[in-house]
Structure formats: structure tokens, C-alpha cells
Amino acid sequence: MEPIQIVLCGCSGHMGHVVADCVRTRNDAQICAGIDLTDTVGGAFPVFQKPEDVTCHADVLIDFSHPSVLTSLLAYAVKHRVPAVLCSTGYSEAQLAQIRQASQEIPIFKSGNMSLGVNLLIELAKRAASVLGEPFDIEIIEKHHNRKLDAPSGTALMIADGVSEVLPDPMTYTYDRHSRRMPRSKSEIGIHSVRGGTIVGEHEILFAGPQETISITHTAQSREIFALGAVNAAAFMAGKQEPGLYDMTDLLKSTQ
């Protein structure tokens, strides 16, 4: 079987290099082109500054760049009918609407975190929330390196959204209590961001109840786990014809 051909957007960034290294260890995939404003890949594959300049035939696109690239990236993917794996975070509501619109024309895989462990954490958190119920307050703490631009992390929002799905009443997300002088509401999920050093990524969900607390934590020790998840998602999406919005749940189901 011929290896799948990947266009890697954000190829010169930290995650771009990790993804490229991951692909080089595999026989079922190769990078046919990269997209980035700078070329730091050392001739491993051609690098283009804009998606519309890409000349190779691609089976799938992986994006680890920046939300500002989304419009041109989706235009390229829709025009060439290329499934897209979107791994960036920090999208606005308008951009999320763009993604949903494009997914009516092409297959799009989107996840705020490509780690198997994080997605398992979300399932465990949903189970805990449904069992513990109203007496337990829910707080989410996420920690990342000092270069991360968006806060809270996409993963923290994924956790909050997952937990909210299983709770009987609507929940609001609280990001800052500095200016508030009032008791905590039972209908809120607190989300807190820490930025410092070289922390790859740590997420904790805390259930604080009467006389006891329960916490579930995931710590990423290497960016390789995100790269592996992205490449596995690309292999899952390559050749897929049915438009739609896919995520890690679909990938995990395909391996069972």
C-alpha cells in the first residue's frame, strides 16, 4: 500500500517538527509538503507560505499552526476535497462556525487535544460528574509553558463541555473571580490557567464536595503523544469521502 500523502501546516513550529519526526518513523505516511511563513525543515519536503501555493497531491492535511490561517486552509481543503485534521486551539465562535460549515462539504477531524489519555480523562470526568451530582463543585486547572498564546486551553474547554453534557442543569464557565465578591454558584464550572516554564501540558478536574474531594489529572510528558494522535487521525481520515465533523471518539471507536 502506498503511504498516505500529508500536507503539514505549521511545519516549522514546535509541533510541526515533532509531527514530521513522527511521520519519518512510519511506513504508512509521508509529508509531501509543508505550509509555513519560514522554512526550517532542512529540505525534508517543500515548504509553501500559503495553502493555495501547494502543488502536491495530498490525501489529508494536518494543521498545527494558528487560527489566523483557518480561512485559507479551509478554502484549500474544500477546493481540493482534502480531509483536514485540525489540531490548533483558540478558535473564535465565528471560526468554529466556519469549521462546521466546511464539514458539510469535506470530512474534518477536530480536537483540542490529540492525546489518548486526555480523551480518556474526559470520559472518566463525565462518569464522575454524573455519579457525584449537585453536591460537588467542579473546578478545572490547566498548566502550560510560557509560550502558549491562548487561555484557557482548548483541552480545558473540552473537559468542561464534556462534563456539562451529563449534568442536568445548564452550567456557566467562570474564568476570573478577582473582581467578584460573592459565594460560588452551584451552576458554574471554574476554569483556571497557569503559564510558566516548559510545562508540556497538565490538566486536572477537581470535584469538591462535603468533607471530600476527588481529582483526576493528566500530565503530558512529551509533545510526541500529540503528534502520534495527529498522525493516527490523519491515517483514519485519509480516503474518507463522507463529509462531517469527526473527533477522537470516532478514532477510538475505529480501533475497537
Flag whether 113 is marked binding.
Answer: yes
pLDDT given at position 256 = 65
Q: Give the 3-state secondary structure of residue 205.
A: strand
Check if the beta carbon of residue 202 is closer than 8 Å to that of residue 218: yes
pLDDT tens per residue across span 93-118 = 999 999 999 999 999 999 988 998 99
Q: Please give, one letter per residue, the 3-state secondary structure of 11-61.
A: CCCHHHHHHHHHHHCCCCEEEEEEECCCCCCCCCCCEECCHHHCCCCCCEE
Flag whether 17 is marked binding.
Answer: no
pLDDT given at position 177 = 86
Percent of the chain with pLDDT over 90: 84
pTM as predicted: 0.82
144 is catalytic: yes
Check if the beta carbon of residue 176 is closer than 8 Å to that of residue 152: no
Check 66, 126, 148, 240 and give the catalytic one: 148
Residues near 160 by beta carbon (within 8 Å), at least 6 away in sequence: 140, 171, 173, 189, 191
**Sheet containing 84-86: which strands, arranged edge to edge?**
47-48, 29-35, 4-9, 60-63, 84-86, 107-110, 244-246
Check 17, 143, 144, 203 and give the catalytic one: 144
pLDDT given at position 90 = 85
253 is catalytic: no
Flag whether 12 is marked binding.
Answer: yes
| Largest separation between any pair of C-alpha atoms in the chain | 63
| DSSP for 129-154, written as a single string | HHHH-TTSEEEEEEEE-TT--SSS-H
Residues near 87 by beta carbon (within 8 Å), at least 6 away in sequence: 15, 62, 63, 64, 111, 114, 226, 230
CA dihedral sign, ordered 153, 158, 164, 166: negative
Flag whether 56 is marked binding.
Answer: no
pLDDT level of residue 179 (50, 70, 90 thresholds): confident
Flag whether 164 is marked binding.
Answer: no
Q: Nearest 10 degrees: CA dihedral of 86, 100, 147, 52?
A: 60
Flag whether 178 is marked binding.
Answer: no
pLDDT tens per residue across span 6-56 = 999 999 999 999 999 999 999 999 999 999 999 988 889 999 999 999 999
Flag whether 153 is marked binding.
Answer: no
